[in-house]
Structure 1
Amino acid sequence: MSATTPAASSVLPLLPPLSAQAERLIELGVHEIAGVPAEELRGFAAAAGAAAGCDGGALLAVHPDRAPASALAPLLRRDGKPGFVVTDMDDVDLFAPLDTVVLPDTPLHLLTGLDRGDTMANWSPAEALPALTAESRTPLLLTEGIHWVLQQPTVLERNHCFMTIGSRLRKPGGALDARTPALWISNGTGRDGRERRDAPKVGWCWAGNRHTWLGFASAAGRRGQDLGG
């Protein structure tokens, strides 16, 4: 489906153990943003890590209603520079899960089988979503993508960044806004400002456009605090 040869996939390091991920979120103050006691976060990570198949490679995430993208983005760091949301996306927290995304109704959840979607580089979001669905994969939400980079900063690299098309904004009439959120690295041009060059960036692209340097982050599934499927 791509107009050109997709970018080659990079080998990503494994995510830290869930216990270490919990401590990272506590260190950053995410538990306070979410109103989740530190011990609850630690307890969920411990229980999930002890459950068969719930640790190695799994990502710990907070529900977007508890920790919105606008609060998480500034916690990102690259070369000592904080993350930011582009100026023309002041409605970033209104981007909600697609109807097809099954999100556990709990403050905390896990994502398993993460993939940055490098093989879909130069696909449009409109092309990628049905392909992911056909593979029984679920696109990441914007906040989940931010959590991934918080835990594994090297997942965001030049020429290998990603979109999070599980989050979309609905217009008053119900139609989807044409913007699709993504995470990439600022070049420090335009309204970003030169001081933000190389900083992690939350932005958007049109749903019908292709970009050779953007894949489509997805997961095999999500598990809530009951650790069910």
Structure 2
Amino acid sequence: MTGVAFDTVTEFDRQVARLIALGYPELAGTTAERFVRELAPLREAVASLVTGEHDPERGRVAFALVVTRQLVPIEETMPRTTLRGKDKPGFVDRSFEEGALERFVAPDPVSLPNSRAYLLLDVDRGEEFCGVVPADAMRVVADRERTVLTIEEGIALLTLFPEVLVKNKCYMLGGSRCGDRRVPALWISRNAPKLGWCWEGNPHTWLGMASAGGRVAVSPRFAG
């Protein structure tokens, strides 16, 4: 592994602590103590499962703990994101019509674990795809046997590593689609993170395509 040296278990604990500080247990209808306890199997496995570069400043993260909408809705997680050093909450753009977020789900061949909390491994915000047509970027990601990120995964990455979302290095989330040409994306608007979307055929110089090496779920307590 290259990049910033770190202890994986300590990093896992940091991520859990951040989610607790942001109120995730309460939003999930549980206590902080039970939240920690239910994630314990992932903590035990993290050292042996993690591969890849870890350098959040450069948009590369060895792993991120993902809490899906089955535990906490996107409408609740997005306002708990911020830019690094800022306090303005993230928001969902009004271009998502009422009920639209529920229809953005993982298409084939994106395969998600049967779990409401899991690890996303070897994550890259994908700025190499800035200026590339999203549909083309998604094909390249698939050819590399990597996976594009879902909305929840993109929010998890930003929540745990606010430094990954910076001007001209924002990212699309091709792992959540609703059957039309829209591709969700996270970028900066009004000095805060925004969840919006772009057309799959329209390139943007400031939007890359985020991807990951894989997903792992080992927690039976959070099984779907």
TM score, norm. by length of structure 2: 0.81
Q: 2:102 aligns with which of 71, 87, 93?
A: 93
Partners of 1:13 and 1:151 in 2: how far apart? 17
Higher deviation after alignment, 21-30 or 157-166:
21-30
- The 1:101–1:35 alpha-carbon spacing in structure 2 relative to 1, beyond 3 Å, is farther
SS at match of 1:183: strand
**Unpaired runs of at least 5, structure 2:** 55-61
Distance in 2 of aligned mates of 1:98 and 1:73: 22
Aligned residue in 1 for 2:154:
145
Instruction: Report the secondary structure of 1:97's partner residue.
Output: coil
**Distance (whole Å) between structure 1 residues aligned to residue 15 and residue 156 of structure 2:** 10
Aligned to 1:38: 35
Cα deviation 1:102-132 (Å, max 9, x = unaligned): 1110121101110111111111221111111
Instruction: Give the SS at the match of 1:25.
Output: helix
Q: CA deviation at 1:138?
A: 0.3
Q: Quick check: which one's helix share is greater?
A: 2
Q: Distance in 2 between matches of 1:183 and 1:13?
A: 27
Task: Find the aligned partners of 2:72 and 2:109 in 1 and give their Cα distance.
Answer: 21
2:76 aligned to 65, 71, 80, which one? 71
SS at match of 2:208: strand
Name the count of aligned residue pairs: 200
The match for 1:133 is 142
**Is the Cα–Cα contact under 8 Å of residues 174 and 184 in structure 2 kept in the other structure?**
yes
Q: State the match for 1:84 in structure 2.
A: 91
Coordinate RMSD, CA, aligned: 2.3
Match of 2:21 among 11, 27, 30: 27
Alignment correspondent of 2:48? 52
Structure 1 residue 179 corresponds to structure 2 residue 188: no
Q: TM-score w.r.t. structure 1 length?
A: 0.80
| Alignment match, 1:193 | none
Maintained 8 Å contact 1:97/1:141: yes
CA distance in 2, matches of 1:154, 1:113: 16
Consecutive unaligned residues of structure 1, counting only runs of 5 or more, are 1-10, 170-175, 187-196
| 8 A Cα contact 2:186 2:196, kept in partner | yes
Q: Distance in 1 between matches of 2:81 and 2:208?
A: 19
Report the counterpart of residue 164 of structure 2 in structure 1. Answer: 155
C-alpha separation between the residues in 1 aligned to 2:5 and 2:208?
17
Q: Does the CA contact (< 8 Å) of 1:22 and 1:41 recur in 2?
A: no
Equivalent residue of 2:78, what SS?
helix
- Any runs of at least 4 consecutive aligned residues in structure 1 with deviations exceeding 4 A, and if so which? 11-16
Does structure 1 conserve the Cα–Cα contact (< 8 Å) formed by 2:134 and 2:202?
yes
Secondary structure (helix, strand or coil) at the match of 2:123 reads: coil
CA distance in 1, matches of 2:186, 2:4: 16
3-state SS of paired residue (1:77) = coil
| Displacement of 1:66 | 2.2
Give deviations 1:45-71, integer Å, cap 9, x for gaps. Answer: 42133x413387211101232223212
Percent pairwise identity:
38
